[in-house]
Chain A
């Protein structure tokens, strides 16, 4: 710990610090280091409660003391969103890792927020089940983190987003309330659907302490293929044809870049007889394009996009478009990137969601992102900048939240009136 950090940490009202220590134990309250910075903001303390009661109490005390709290799971996406306006302490779920109940015969699991996705999947796999989500960095990413950031990958096409998989949640609110909603059964319409409210809320409303998910069986067999195209128009035509076909594919994703012609990967899961029949149909549908076996890397395409070597000159954006705007969007990306002398690579799912990596000088990246966002917003689409180089000119991570922003602020005001949780990190200054 450097001297400056040490003095800042000790600057935190010592009586309060004693209360934290009394609650969770000395070894779980420590001064924050530079490695604990969150989207450019440097907190003073890191606290690791062992139970949701402890977590709620720390949150309540911090809220009373006017401290800004940054909830943290595995910390893999802590840089996403805008830089918090204030950051006093990191509230870590690192010790809350229990898989409380895997009700395998009911295809549900109840799990604490700090459990990593990989450990969860390993446990579920013992009964040939899965949480149907291909999260980024599953070995580190936690249940609470993927929920708060609404992470989703290729499997979303078939199984929906986390909003469709979560069936119950417990959250700690800044006033210390522990509130549950939803339940342990897949079908349930009693009360408001707060699991959806906190999914993708970036920890700005409450801290997720546990979640209940519906599960899916692991497939009996699977088979994936790659199909190359000469250009984005052809890719779009292929994707729309597959979507309009009777194929029962699990995912369909397309790769674009300034280096290679586009290619798509498609995955089928099911019985051997079903897979063979679908392969034949796919070959017919794709002709004259050739269909080849896909490599295993199609599962890690998103992580590869994130594996840039120079963070200071790379930006990553999530985009969402209508599937019919795929080719047009890729042309636009190429055009904007060209104009700003920026290298680019994109991964687009058949859902219309996609990921874009731009590499170049920070000022140029900013101009390219702005041009793209303006255009996408004009066609029902959107662009969210998840990673921006620190030297890039100011660029809001989120873009417009539309006419519902006042309502979102009212929801925030109700649950976190003192702006304790992740202040300023979310849309419209929330």
Chain B
């Protein structure tokens, strides 16, 4: 990249808003998925919509690819830089701009931390529902890119359920408003398309969120089962009884051991631990909790505990939310997987995972959002042992293939990013992917916004069958055909 372009970018964001020295750029070479690393040419730290817009206009004019980055906690390499491209970090755009309790709306900049939204509205007994495990450090902008979920999306929905509108800088530098403060704005639901598009359609600079009134009571039950099969049967019975809990989480023995070692959550030692949370009016929750208790017992729960205080409840959740990081206590390295299956396929998929695990000679710990079939198998390995990393990656991919074969998905909440783009062709047929890329071409005909993510084969916009002509992005080494 020519120095004049860096100079021009510097005039937009100021000297302290541009990082271009190699030692400082290292911070940005990966996100939460650290096995992919690419050094960007520069990182910009704009502090306003206008600065983002000016920077994107330059990228567009100069055909420079850019990658928007929130807090960098993503687990699929979605914020992985593009070589010779720019990273636009939204970390400085971290203001909560408006809180409207009467209409239950909050307007934020993309760099606002997820939990800070709840922090801001909690005194009036509201909360922001999407709660990814990284909620104390991840940003709303990143949540929008990934359509983040969390344990409570079983009842409350995902990020997309809670985003009513967006201010977006499109890849050509134009500013548009998608959705709005009121519902059903005329036209296509482009806010719905933008959320979860992993930064490939532009950069969100303002987000209108819906907040939710805190329920009258929250009750959390822990039930210990001999194995995940019995725990899974209890989940099926809870759902069949017509209940929609706020959350149903499951952990297997290995995951329990790790969580215990890390945060001493005081979990019972068992083969399958179920965490069921109900919320709502006290009388309703108490009646349903009695029923859940009976269901757990009839499915062979050896121990059932109801969290007796907010502190106890917080500890129960701390153990669950720390489960990924806790793997470090029992294994030097691990891969966090994120797949989804129809919930009823759980016993069959679990026994297949167990078989694959034994075949590969690697341990797999399992943490699930059991209510919606979102699995997080954690493949444990030791990088120092030759061949283990490759074996772990292969096992991890096979687990995803199991999910696809069961009629599920390759990702429930972590996104496709860099990590899973090759799996997309296993989940979707070519016409499906081509159609998605046609939508992308409407937003980003030059494919500058996070250009190398999601799709296994970038489709060049305006591409017509005929004599092969390398696209400028191919010539520049940004895109490739395979």
Contact = CB atoms under 8 A, between A and B. Distances in A.
Given A381-B182, A407-B190, A188 B102 contact: no
A274 B280 contact: yes
A336 interface: no
A415 B436 contact: no
B385 interface: no
Interface residues of B, number: 92
Contacts of B157: 160, 164
B213 A243 contact: yes
B37 to A, nearest CB: 23
Given A103-B344, A187-B369, A408-B190, A160 B101 contact: no
A200 B193 CA distance: 13
Contacts of B433: 191
A428 B439 CA distance: 19
A248 B369 contact: no
Contacts of B420: 190
Nearest to A171: B435
Interface string A347-383: 0000111000000000000000000000000001110
Nearest to B240: A105
Contacts of A179: 431-432, 434-435
A401 B435 contact: no
Given A192-B193, A273-B283, A322-B182, A428 B215 contact: no
Given A240-B102, A414-B439, A277 B283 contact: yes
A351 B411 CA distance: 31
A183 B409 contact: yes
A65 interface: no
Contact of A177 (B192, B216, B424, B431): B431
B436 A105 contact: no
Given A196-B160, A246-B213, A324 B102 contact: yes
Interface string A176-211: 011111011111111111101101110001000000
Contact of A274 (B176, B244, B281, B454): B281
Contact of A402 (B177, B195, B373, B434): B177
B379 interface: no
A353 B102 contact: no
A245 interface: yes
Contacts of A405: 187
B409 A384 contact: no
Contacts of A402: 176-177, 180, 185, 187
A173 interface: yes
A428 B187 contact: yes
Contacts of A274: 280-281, 283-285, 287
Given A190-B416, A407-B190, A411-B190, A248 B215 contact: yes
Given A248-B284, A353-B183, A404-B190, A185 B242 contact: no
Given A191-B416, A271-B287, A401 B187 contact: yes
Contacts of B161: 160, 164
Interface in B323-348: 340-344
B410 interface: yes
A218 interface: yes
A398 B184 CA distance: 11
Contacts of A261: none
B242 A410 contact: no
B341 A185 contact: yes
Interface string A157-185: 00011011000000101000111110111
Interface in B179-207: 180-190, 192-193, 195-197
A160 B118 CA distance: 21
- The contact size tier of chain A is 35 or more
A199 B189 contact: yes
B278 to A, nearest CB: 11
Contact of A181 (B104, B216, B432): B432
A321 interface: yes
B184 A404 contact: no
B449 interface: no
Interface stretch (B28-36, B59-67, B145-153): B145-153
A418 B158 CA distance: 36
A404 B416 contact: no
A323 B242 contact: no
B86 interface: no
A272 B283 CA distance: 9
B411 A190 contact: yes
Contacts of B374: 187
B103 to A, nearest CB: 5
A276 B283 contact: yes
B429 interface: yes
A131 to B, nearest CB: 15
Given A220-B242, A320-B184, A351-B183, A180 B283 contact: no
Contacts of A384: 184, 186
Contacts of B189: 163, 196-197, 199-201
B442 A273 contact: no
Interface in A216-236: 216-220
A244 interface: yes
B396 to A, nearest CB: 16
A10 interface: no
Nearest to A220: B242
A189 B185 contact: no
A243 B188 contact: no
B294 to A, nearest CB: 14
Nearest to A108: B342
Contacts of B215: 246, 248
Contacts of B184: 150, 161, 200, 318, 320, 353, 382, 384
A300 interface: no
Contact of A427 (B186, B369, B409): B186
Contacts of A160: 157, 161
Interface in B224-280: 236, 239-240, 242-244, 280
A205 B439 CA distance: 11
Interface string A61-99: 000000000000000000000000000000000000000
Nearest to B124: A244
A214 B384 CA distance: 45
19 contacts: A185-B412, A187-B340, A187-B373, A189-B414, A190-B428, A191-B432, A193-B196, A193-B197, A197-B192, A201-B189, A246-B215, A274-B287, A324-B102, A382-B184, A382-B186, A399-B186, A401-B185, A402-B185, A426-B187
Q: Ordered nearest first, which 3 A-B pairs have the shortest CB separation?
A: A274-B284, A196-B192, A217-B242
